[in-house]
Structure 1
Amino acid sequence: MTTMLVTGATGTLGRQVAERLGAEGADVRGLSRRSPSYAVDLRDGKGLDAAVEGADVIVHCATTPRGDDRAAGFLIDAAERAGTPHLLYISIVGVDRLPLGYYTVKRRVERMIEDSGLGSTILRTTQFHDLVLRILSGAAKLPVLPVPSGVRVQPVDSGEVADRLAALALPGPSGRVPDLGGPEVRGLTELAGTFLRATGRRRRVVPVRLAGKAYAGYRRGDHLAPGHATGTVTFEEFLDHRHRHPA
């Protein structure tokens, strides 16, 4: 039986990846700070060797706004000591183009994995529907709903990303694989209207022009993958499913 270690196993993506791998008959170890069996904080790496020992594949879904490279360093070192043959990493479209701190760190982690000598697979995806919903939900707490003007997004369903990761985990290392993007590239202003209708809220959507290189990159579409629109679940379908199956 193949043993799979999934980091971030209680998160939006990691939980789904663990479920899919388990359904395929793998022995799945779910690693997170709150895991009942493999409680590890990747920020200090304590207990990581025991979790990694004997794992055939590590699917690295854990992420944090700060310290992703430090956490990845601990994980790579543990994988090297254990002789793990395959490390699968989820990254983001545009990490090599957008001058954004979080993206810069994600790109650094990609390089760390590529340079480690471990067998690896790296998948980049566009933003999740969940992220777009979180942004719009937060903005809707104001009397008006502000959105960055001229910014388009290509949100993808996290379940489809989980399907792809589970499929990539089963064979051997594949290197950098084709990006996975959502089915549609749409303006944030348009999606804000979709969100308001779906949630029955009434707000005026106000496009706001921002400053900075990162904003300019978003306006250029450096975070998009229109040539890899292989996802199928639209934002409307995602919202409808959320309404019918609230978390």
Structure 2
Amino acid sequence: MGKFAKWLGAGAGFTMGGPIGAILGFVVGSFIDGLSIEDLAEEQQEYQRNTQQQARRGRATSGDFEISLLILASIVIKADGKIDRRELDYVRMYFVKMYGKERANHAFKLFSGIMKKQISTRQVCLQIRQHMSHSTRLQLLHFLFGIAQADGQVIAPEEQEIRKIAGYLYINEYDYASIRAMFYDSSNSAYQMLEISKNATDDEVKKAYRKMAKKYHPDKLQGLGEEHMQGAQEKFQKIQAAYEKIKKERGMN
């Protein structure tokens, strides 16, 4: 079994089964003749037997997050009926930044195959929702908006697809609007990030900031590994910047 198959088998957990596993089996089978999803599952089990830091059974691993990102990214990129090179480059750049060049190359090889596959958004999201925490699902949504904006703007078909994904992932309207506001520069964006209106009192602003800082704190994603801390830090910093902007506009201490 080659390096690519070993990377995939070692990194994933829950994504080896269900509808996501079926997608992986189709894609990997087209790369490596005779290799099945069962072969990859055996590779994963061997990896877990030989590592000292096993993921708890049923909990998402870094590899699960990686595969879920790739599949959801393919849905958003194809939402407008065309594939923009800038969006593909964003995915590659993001993965190189998170995982390093070698692992990112493996991921992008898988991504190229996923892009050719017809995917049921609902089925994939239901599987992700069962195994990923709320904080992890918010991080997925943040990444998807970043992809959509990579070509300069988030167009209507892309946002419609992201909103549909958010619904299937049980991300409520307040959380959705908060993350969406991080990618739109409007007079109301800072308030939307904190999930409050412009009519909020100064005390309500402070309370909202504390709540959102806790919700988006990078420690919420510690279970996925250090490679995901940078993406979580970006969200956290945007919340801090939104709070500072409101404080400055209001002359708050």
State TM-score, norm by structure 2: 0.27
Which structure features the higher share of helix residues?
A: 2
State TM-score, norm by structure 1: 0.28
Which structure features the higher share of strand residues?
A: 1
